[in-house]
Structure 1
Amino acid sequence: MELRHLRYFVAVADERNFTRAAERLNIAQPPLSRQIQQLEEELGVVLIEKGSRPVRLTEAGKFFHAHAQELLEQAANLKAMTQRVGKIDRKFAIGFVASTLYGLLPEIVRRFRARYQTLDISFHELATIEQIAALKDGRIDVGFGRLRIEDHAIRRILLREEPLIVALPVGHRLAGVDGPVRLADVSQEALLVYPKQPRPSYADQVLAIFRERMLLPQKVIEVRELQIAIGLVGAGQGVAIVPKSLQGMIRTDVVYKALDEPGAVSPIMFSVRQMDRSPELTNMLEVIYEIYEEMGIAHTRHRL
């Protein structure tokens, strides 16, 4: 059994039609049918119900399809990693969501770059879900995101849970409240969430916090990015729930207040390809934990 057999079978199973699968694979239909027949003979089981239109998989076929997809993804990951490791010019691509730039990511990269000066480091602003795709096709080597997206081809390490705060216009009624602001009071305001696309995103994470507490924001306004949300807060168009590190974004028209919700946090996730154990990634994790320990930030050490 070869990888081409897996590709051929997955194409037929996905398209549910031999003609469309042959077009997708850029081969003629008769050779494709023979390859599937040879695969069934080698396995000794029937994978596709005979004469079914559209194509229907047997129970064995459904099982084989799921695992064949996984093996093909692993092969693609292995190819991307091997090509990266084999390059003479060492390149290291970092994907990040915009909000991480207001936290420790700049210091992490500065220290990492100073320590490993032979690396050619590049940066790519990508939503968390976009980072997953970019890791799988080799466009980036590590991602810093905020969503707990599960993908068997990607390993996700929780670096820490960052508290969330509320951004308010200067002069807002909640800005003068003594102590933390209640989420129930925030729900009475127009809520600015970001990014609008792609989804799922940090916007869904924020809205889930309200749903978990049986709260419904009076009005939800979706905007394209973080900077637009904060700008509209300053213009008095609503309020926004943001990571605590955004307090460093100094604006004369915005006030930041703590939330009276201990469970209102946003995870910072370190994402890599499942099989990637390259020294660059291990070294970056060491730099991250070194900085956390210097700053007294609670964390659990993980190894690749």
Structure 2
Amino acid sequence: MSNAPALRSIDIRQLRYFLVVAEELNFRRAAERLHITQPPLSRQIAALEAALGQALLERSGGPTTTRLTAAGQLARSEFAAAVVAFDAALQRIVSAAGPERTRLRLGLPWWVDMSGFGGIEQALRRGGELPPLEPVLANSVELFGQLQSGEIDAALLTMPQELHGLVHHPVVRLPHVALVPAASPLARKRTLRLRDLESLPPFLRFNKRVNPALWLHYQRFYDAAGFKPPRELDVPASTAVAQIAAGRGCTVMPAAFARQRYPGVVARRLLDEIYVELHLVLAERLEPALARALHSRIEMLAAALG
């Protein structure tokens, strides 16, 4: 009983983090999949081990030789079952809540400028068919997982992505811009070609393992433009801006992302075609009336995000 307080400090996020590390057996790859950096991931795993009083991973040889201890092997099995049970419990509770809603949880891409969300919500709720909105920002892979588990009701997801039969509607096509260091020669130009970015290695992009379909979607645009960067670096998209501000590479992002200003980074219009589509994806158990109300407001969403 002496370690009961420590055990109560364990949260479901730590279990999810551990399961990704246990699958990858590599902290760098696990951090990329989770779209966080390695230090906070290591801290969460260390906190989990401290609370349990057990070492779950052996990583004395570095991140590439991470192994599960005997306790870690048991934890992988038990935690996987616990996460499944947790997600199922959430689904049952949400499903049993009935039509009396106090909020509608809407997943949005992590790069959306939230400064104008109040106006977006006001427009979407006009007519009284929708309850107050609670925005949830994350990448598309994470948002899809939350849709499946019932943690959110609908989401704007970057396509292409496997949706496993969920109802979805196209909302808007988003052209991309180049993000380059403000101190670079390319920052002095008004427009750029993709091939211009070959002069600012490394080219920053997310790891193919995170979302293979979307990675290949981008690659087709790069191939069509003859874009062959001399060096690429896999980084979570959410950390790319900091790298660019430090003069360590360049990348492309949806033009809507560039509405926000980032010190040390400038956005330049691309002359080569490159875009992604955002789709409104609905959770399977979303009430039909709410699904219809959201669908009727797709033009409003497109105007806000385009």
TM-score, with length taken from structure 1:
0.59
Q: Quick one: distance in 2 between partners of 1:103 and 1:218?
A: 37
Partner letter of residue 154 of structure 1?
L
Find the counterpart in structure 2 of residue 62 from structure 1.
none
Q: Quick one: distance in 2 between partners of 1:283 and 1:266?
A: 25
Given that 1:161 and 1:266 are in contact with CA atoms closer than 8 Å, whether structure 2 keeps it comes out as yes
Given that 1:161 and 1:267 are in contact with CA atoms closer than 8 Å, whether structure 2 keeps it comes out as yes
Alpha-carbon distance, 1:106 to partner: 5.8
- Residue of 76, 83, 88 corresponding to 2:100: 88
Given that 1:210 and 1:217 are in contact with CA atoms closer than 8 Å, whether structure 2 keeps it comes out as no
Find the counterpart in structure 1 of residue 256 from structure 2.
245
Which residues in structure 2 correspond to 1:245-284 (within 5 Å)?
A: 245-261=256-272, 263-273=273-283, 276=286, 278-284=288-294
Given that 1:164 and 1:264 are in contact with CA atoms closer than 8 Å, whether structure 2 keeps it comes out as yes
- Residue of 206, 210, 218 corresponding to 2:222: 210
Q: Quick one: distance in 2 between partners of 1:222 and 1:119?
A: 40
Which residues in structure 2 correspond to 1:1-304 (within 5 Å)?
A: 83=95, 86-101=98-113, 107-113=119-125, 116=128, 119-177=131-189, 179-189=190-200, 190-194=202-206, 198-200=210-212, 205-226=217-238, 228-261=239-272, 263-273=273-283, 276=286, 278-290=288-300, 292=302
Find the counterpart in structure 1 of residue 80 from structure 2.
none
1:145/1:296 Cα in 2 relative to 1: closer, same or farther (>3 Å)?
closer
CA RMSD in angstroms, aligned pairs only: 3.5
Secondary structure class of the residue paired with 2:167 = strand
Given that 2:106 and 2:135 are in contact with CA atoms closer than 8 Å, whether structure 1 keeps it comes out as yes
Structure 1 stretches of 5 or more lacking a match? 1-75, 298-304
Q: Quick one: distance in 1 between partners of 2:136 and 2:210?
A: 16
Q: Quick one: distance in 1 between partners of 2:134 and 2:179?
A: 31
Find the counterpart in structure 1 of residue 40 from structure 2.
none
Count of equivalent residues: 216
1:113/1:147 Cα in 2 relative to 1: closer, same or farther (>3 Å)?
same
Which structure would you say has the larger Rg? Answer: 1
Q: Quick one: distance in 1 between partners of 2:283 and 2:267?
A: 36
1:275/1:256 Cα in 2 relative to 1: closer, same or farther (>3 Å)?
same
1:93/1:212 Cα in 2 relative to 1: closer, same or farther (>3 Å)?
same
User: Between the two proteins, what is the percent identity of the paired residues?
Assistant: 15
Partner letter of residue 245 of structure 1?
A
